[in-house]
């Protein structure tokens, strides 16, 4: 019940294309869903996050879509650029209301954007 399943494991898109990464969860206590971006040899950095009271959140070229009934959420990267090439992790947390702020991460998606 604590798992977050992420797909695909790897993704190759052309410059200017749309990158889509999907995550699914089982634990209904999760109520905070961040996405992290990680470059090789670096620590992850928060990209964008959503709470289940909204179905979509957009920041620049990055959009999270959230489907509470299906327990799924996805990251869309519009107009993908070579500089977006990185590993992306989805995560989920029950926030502080239940078991503290620990995050459960998906397995990661390695995105390559070809020029």
Partner 1 sequence: DGGITQSPKYLFRKEGQNVTLSCEQNLNHDAMYWYRQDPGQGLRLIYYSQIVNDFQKGDIAEGYSVSREKKESFPLTVTSAQKNPTAFYLCASSIRREYNEQFFGPGTRLTVL
Chain residues that interact with partner 1, rule: CB under 8 A: 2, 6, 9, 31-32, 34, 36, 41-46, 49, 51, 89, 93, 95-97, 100-108
Q: Is 22 exposed, middle or buried (0-12, 13-18, 19+ CB in 10 A)?
A: middle
**Closer residue to partner 1, CB minimum distance, 83 or 102:** 102
82: helix, coil or strand?
helix
Q: Which lies closer to partner 1 via its Cβ, residue 23 or residue 77?
A: 23
Nearest-approach distance from CB 102 to partner 1, in angstroms: 6
The token pair that represents 88 in the structure block: 């992306």
Q: Report, in angstroms and rounded to the nearest whole number, the Rg of the chain calculated over CA atoms.
A: 14
Least distance to partner 1 from the beta carbon of 16, Å? 28
């Amino acid at each position: 019940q604590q798992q977050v399943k992420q797909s695909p494991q790897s993704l190759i898109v052309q410059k200017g294309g749309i990158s889509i990464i999907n995550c699914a969860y089982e634990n209904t206590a999760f109520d905070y869903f961040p996405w992290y971006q990680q470059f090789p040899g670096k620590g992850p950095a928060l990209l964008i996050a959503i709470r289940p009271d909204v179905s979509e959140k957009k920041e620049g070229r990055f959009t999270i879509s959230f489907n509470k009934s299906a327990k799924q959420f996805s990251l869309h990267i519009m107009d993908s650029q070579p500089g977006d090439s990185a590993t992306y992790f989805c995560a989920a947390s029950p926030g502080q209301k239940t078991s503290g702020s620990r995050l459960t991460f998906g397995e990661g998606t390695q995105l390559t954007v070809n020029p």
